[in-house]
Structure 1
Amino acid sequence: MLGPLPSTVTLASKIKPVALQGIALVPFPLQKFVADKLLNPLLDDTISDGDLDLLENRVLALSVFETGQSWHFSLINHRLELVRPGRAADVRISGTIEAFLLISNHLEDPDTLFFQRELNIEGDTELGLTIKNCLHNVDTGRLPKPVKQLLHLAGGIASAIYKGAANGERDF
């Protein structure tokens, strides 16, 4: 007879390192292609409204605590571009993968995550706060359905991990 099923937190703690390592193996041109196809439609209104103009010719790094991996972005010709990390970032937003998933699924307020040290900003604070607010206001409804479903599933798992951590269940 089978024993009890492992909790979502336990399963995620086993899968998470493998998934994060896998992302690091994706070649930069493919990462750039995916980022361009997913992020620009999501941020079209934000970019058109000028909310990201502060990022023009500047570099934002989004970094994941668990792996140290960073993605560098710049606003070039009114498009958010993933750029090779050739120069120092003007601002770096670092966080747990769960924190980024919680924000993108609108499951947690970014300010709460900053106060709980799940996210932090280094560098140009004004630019960082602008980016943080833009991340929180992204409408994921524009994503292709399979991506939206995957993001929603990952957000649910991130929420379970986040709540588990608050209850002392986090073991990674």
Structure 2
Amino acid sequence: MAEARSQHRLGIALVVAAAIAWSTAPLFTRLLPYDSWTILFWRGLFGGGMIMVLMVLLQGRAGLRDLTRIDKNGWLVALFSTLAMIAFIPSLQLTDVSNVAIIIATGPFLAAALAWVWLREIPHLRTMLRIALACFMALAIAAMTVMVRRHKNTSMVAAAAMSTSWAASSAFPSPTEWQG
């Protein structure tokens, strides 16, 4: 039981560290005065080295064995990860970070579609509803953005105030929720 808790804590720490690393990647990529290939080289060298050191520290010789015994599926995972990395860094340099973030956010939808095609894995109804809701949200934001561009003389601050008020009124808690 203690081992499971320890693994759980380690998993949380690693997820937090990954989130921090991913969220700072755009900042550092934009700050560095180097081309994409130079950044990819040093990022890969230090990142790969750090991961290998952590594998050995956390798993000992088993971590090294994992590296030497990687099978074709591991090679495919590494290939797809490499391709994503090779596209990620230049995309951060060539377009707005927000565009990259939005496209990365489509990953779960694409994963669900690929799983359906390759694995014949039918998504749960709740997953499909979440996808539909996210697509609806994206369409609403796109429509709002076009309206802002089209009607530049309209007070967008007033529109934002109205928007948040409407959202609050649509989510007004019922009396049963007030009772705790």
Q: TM bucket by the smaller chain?
A: under 0.3
Higher-Rg member (1/2): 2
Structure-1-length-normalised TM-score: 0.26
Higher strand share: 1
Higher helix share: 2
Structure-2-length-normalised TM-score: 0.25
